[in-house]
Amino acid sequence: MLQLPLVVTAHIDVLLLVLSALSLWTRLSHLSSPRAVVFDEVYYGQFVSLYMKRVFFVDDSGPVLGHMILALGAYLGGFDGNFAWNRIGAEYPSGVCVWSLRLIPAICGALCVPLGYLLTLELHCSHLSALGAAVLLLLENSLIVQSRFMLLESVLIFFLLLALYSYLRFHNGVHSPTLRYAWLLLCGVCCGAAVGVKYTGVFSYLLLLGVASLHTWNLIGDRTVSHVSHRMFQRINKVLTNQRRADSCVCMCVQLSVCVQCVCRAVCLLLVPVLLYVFWFYIHLSLLKHSGPHDQLMSPAFQSSLQGGLSRITRGQPMEVAYGSQVTLRSSASQPMPCWLNSHRANYPIRYENGRGSSHQQQVACSPSKDVNNWWIIKDPHRRGLTVDRPPRPVRHGDVIQLVHGTTSRLLNSHDVAAPISPQAQEVSGFVDFNVSMTAQDLWRLDIANREAESESWKSISSEIRLIHVNTSAGLKLSGSALPAWGFHLMEVVAEKHFRADAVSFFWTVEEHRYWTTEGPAGADGGSQLEDKQTHRSVSFWTKFTELQRKMLTVKQEETEHKYSSTPLEWITMETNIAYWMDKSSNAQIHLIGNPVSWGVANLSLLAYHIIVSVYLVRRRRGFRDLTEAAWQHFVCVGCVCVGGWMMNVLPFLLMEKTLFLYHYLPALTHLHLLTPALLEHTHNHLLSSLTHQRALRVCAAVALLLILCSYWFFSPLTYGCPELSANQLQVLRWRNSWDFLLRRQ
């Protein structure tokens, strides 16, 4: 019921407002300059374009939400996707709304500053410390650079900070359970989003899970809370009926039983992020309907679910492969390039370069291009004809077949002759009878690997088959090596005896499929009279999701060192910078380079925290209680969030073999910047007893802030790309020899 008079009381933290304004100003001013592609924009941009055109793609570098967020910005700015993202430094055409491309990351980056402020407050630090933390984040050149372009780190950091903040709100909360669990739900959502933006978000998510499970464990040990309580419902009823007792909420949150609380936490922190992660893929797959450049990475079944591409070819083709069918056989192992079983009018050379002999029969290989030589006809060894009966006789698992090459009519053959490149395996050839007592060994047994019944028929697209050579029981295999010039650099195909059940290089799939019955053509060219004609194949979302996810995690791009790549240990000392952009005609340039003073301060406080905490621990163990229990808990909590966050975001990279860049360090750095003010406050309140020392510390902190401001100002030309610096000025800024600045020769 409405209470009159209507009074609105608002508490406005002016500090927070000012910080937000400054932060927006540093991140958003002149957002569309430079009007050129900056660093990894060239990479993310192509995916944004593909989103605009709704063309399917696979990106193994990260999950889909990040790309979608960038695409949203482009969509709002009316970007049509018609821009060739071909090189860094290319000018955007006038039609492209550059600031809209960069707006969302910039806003996320700007919001990190007030979030840092709030987070420090939530860690039970004073407003002054919170201000310090926010200023450190505000004046961090590297965070500014990374926020101002179409890149994902700022979005990731935003979600990470928000997740931590909302978890602490939940943990510290004295509100009603509903509100507290709303915060926890928000935390779960942010975790899901962070992991959806970049896989590196997992590290902070794990930290959060660790802290949350520790808290839950303590809750379980709390014997004042009931196991499974009926009183809770009584309480709720009481509260509902008795509106006056507003403060009974506090009482009730104690009374929520252990089971209910644990289940709630598990749902919010485990189930929600996982579901959200899947949900991003659901959006991704429902947005991207058209076939595109990465189709070939996916299985034929997946491809045929996309519009255009393979589905156009395979639509309407018969499902079951019958005797007399004409098929193309695609190898399942050929990654990233697809290839099809191929033969052509050329024989194996009589002698190879290394002196070994061959059968000199017709070459069989795997061709990466689609051409007419990829067609094979399935033949029944007991019959002569190559046409399909009416009704067609399907080929089943275990049947013995022959494969006739379409253009040359040679039979697929294998024999005890060493293969050209892999001599431990058998050669596969199109049989030519030279009358040299080499008889044809052209019978193959069909082995459907993903069969459900023993008499399963061979289906195009969906059946994964092996062809087992009857005489030698060797399997037809893509060896993975390429033939030399005499084999036109096609991929080598061999038959190998010893194979493992799951070895993917033995698997083949029928991709295109057609046949002629005695009356006329059926299949792709018309043949609507056939009943088993397949219409649009529907592949369930789960199948597509698991396949896409597996591809993203297993597709390995070539590991090469980048000119600006660096190792985790170099990040701590900021050994390298990254050149992001340089003007076409002048020395104006943008670099990813941190604020050296605040990095130094952050490293110092990291070291100081470790020393202080170990001294405390040892002294506590020996029975000296230097701190009150509350102060100690507070100190540990700060360490968990800041130092723990830093470690979780650095240590895993040490084990990684990926090409790493300085920007991978930014989430860790953000955690570290939160540590410094909290540590100073602790030193001030607990370690320094005399007033003079405290004053000295305050002065030191103020001087440090001033220095940080100065160095921010100093390096801002490299952050914003203007004004242009002369060669001498650049030389002055080059504080470390390992930094690389660019100089245009005059």
Partner 1 sequence: MEKEEPLSQLTGKTWDDSAVRCRKVPQNIPVVSKDKNSPTHGHVSEDDTQPSNGSYTQDSASHHHYVSPSKVLLVLVVGLSFSTRLYKIKEPPHVCWDETHFGKMGSYYINRTFFFDVHPPLGKMLIGLAGYMTGYNGTFPFIKPGDKYEHHNYWGMRGFCAVLGSFLPVFAYLIVLELSHSHTAALITATLLIFDTGCITITQYILLDPILMFFIMAAVLSMVKFKQQRYRPFAASWWLWLVLTGMSLAGALGVKFVGLFVILLVGLNTAADLWRILGDLSLSLVDFGKHFLARVLGLILLPLFLYVTIFTVHFAVLNKSGPGDGFFSSAFQSRLIGNNLHNASMPEYLAYGSTITMKNLRIAGGYLHSHWHLYPEGVGAKQQQITAYLHKDYNNLWLVHRPNKTQSGSPDLVRHGDLIRLEHKETTRNLHSHVHEAPLTKKHHQVTGYGINGTGDANDLWQVEVCGGHKGDLVKVLRSKVRLRHRATGCVLFSSGKILPKWGWEQEEVTCSPYIKETPSSQWNIEDHFNPKLPNISISILKPNFLEVLVESHIVMIRGNSGLKPKNSEMNSKPWHWPINYQGLRFSGVNDTEYRVYLLGNPVVWWTHLFSLALYLLMVSVASLAIQRGLPLAAKRVEHARVLKSGGGLLLLGWLLHYVPFYTMSRILYYHHYFPAMLFNSMLTGITLDILLKSADLLLRPPYCDWLFRFGLMVLLLAVLYSFYLFHPLSYGMMGPLSHEPGSSMAGLKWLASWEF
Hunting for tokens 């000392």 — which residue is that? 573
Piece of 20-28, 126-134, 615-623, 661-669 that binds partner 1 (CB under 8 A) = 615-623
- Taking the complex as a whole, the smallest distance from the CB of residue 397 to partner 1 amounts, in Å, to 15
The residue among 291 and 505 lying less far from partner 1, judged by its C-beta, is: 505
> Interface residues for partner 1 in 162-221 (CB under 8 A)?
171-173, 214-215, 217-221
- Taking the complex as a whole, the smallest distance from the CB of residue 199 to partner 1 amounts, in Å, to 16
- Provide the token pair at 131: 């201000």
- Taking the complex as a whole, the smallest distance from the CB of residue 472 to partner 1 amounts, in Å, to 13
Residue 315 lies near partner 1 (rule: CB under 8 A): no
d(Cα 671, Cα 136) in Å, to the nearest integer?
Answer: 11
Residues comprising the chain, all counted: 746
Residue 445 lies near partner 1 (rule: CB under 8 A): no
Out of 622, 690, 692, 746, point to the residue binding partner 1 (CB under 8 A).
622
- Taking the complex as a whole, the smallest distance from the CB of residue 641 to partner 1 amounts, in Å, to 12
Sorted by sequence, the CB contacts under 8 Å of residue 407 that are 6+ apart come out as: 344, 345, 372, 373, 375
Backbone angles phi, psi at 465, to 5 degrees: -120, 160
- Taking the complex as a whole, the smallest distance from the CB of residue 597 to partner 1 amounts, in Å, to 26
Backbone angles phi, psi at 199, to 5 degrees: -65, -25
Out of 560, 690, 692, 746, point to the residue binding partner 1 (CB under 8 A).
560
The residue among 279 and 499 lying less far from partner 1, judged by its C-beta, is: 499
Out of 91, 222, 416, 626, point to the residue binding partner 1 (CB under 8 A).
222
In one letter, which amino acid is 460?
A: S
Distance of CA 297 to CAs 529, 560, 622, Å?
A: 34, 21, 62
- Give yes or no for a contact between 668 and 650, defined as CB atoms under 8 angstroms apart: yes
Interface with partner 1: number of residues (CB under 8 A): 41
Hunting for tokens 């059940």 — which residue is that? 501
Residue 633 lies near partner 1 (rule: CB under 8 A): yes
Burial class (CB in 10 A: 0-12, 13-18, 19+), 618: exposed
Residue 632 lies near partner 1 (rule: CB under 8 A): yes
Binding mask 230-259 for partner 1 (x = CB under 8 A): -----------------------xx---x-
Piece of 187-195, 501-509, 523-531, 541-549 that binds partner 1 (CB under 8 A) = 501-509
Out of 561, 689, 745, 746, point to the residue binding partner 1 (CB under 8 A).
561
d(Cα 602, Cα 614) in Å, to the nearest integer?
Answer: 19
- Give yes or no for a contact between 552 and 59, defined as CB atoms under 8 angstroms apart: yes
Out of 542, 623, 690, 691, point to the residue binding partner 1 (CB under 8 A).
623
Distance of CA 119 to CAs 265, 344, 670, Å?
A: 21, 68, 12
The residue among 241 and 560 lying less far from partner 1, judged by its C-beta, is: 560
The residue among 80 and 222 lying less far from partner 1, judged by its C-beta, is: 222
Sorted by sequence, the CB contacts under 8 Å of residue 406 that are 6+ apart come out as: 326, 372, 373, 375, 376, 377
Q: Is the dihedral of CA 721, 722, 726, 730 positive or negative?
A: negative
Rounded (10°) angle between helices 64-76 and 153-172: 110
Out of 245, 562, 695, 698, point to the residue binding partner 1 (CB under 8 A).
562
Residue 621 lies near partner 1 (rule: CB under 8 A): yes
The residue among 306 and 592 lying less far from partner 1, judged by its C-beta, is: 592
Hunting for tokens 């700022």 — which residue is that? 154
Binding mask 281-310 for partner 1 (x = CB under 8 A): ------------------------------
- Give yes or no for a contact between 739 and 576, defined as CB atoms under 8 angstroms apart: yes
d(Cα 132, Cα 138) in Å, to the nearest integer?
Answer: 10
530: helix, strand or coil: coil
Residue 637 lies near partner 1 (rule: CB under 8 A): yes
323: helix, strand or coil: coil
- Taking the complex as a whole, the smallest distance from the CB of residue 563 to partner 1 amounts, in Å, to 5
Residue 227 lies near partner 1 (rule: CB under 8 A): yes
Which parts of this chain interact with partner 1 (CB under 8 A)? 171-173, 214-215, 217-225, 227, 253-254, 258, 480, 498, 500-503, 505, 560-563, 618, 621-623, 629, 632-633, 636-637, 640, 655, 657
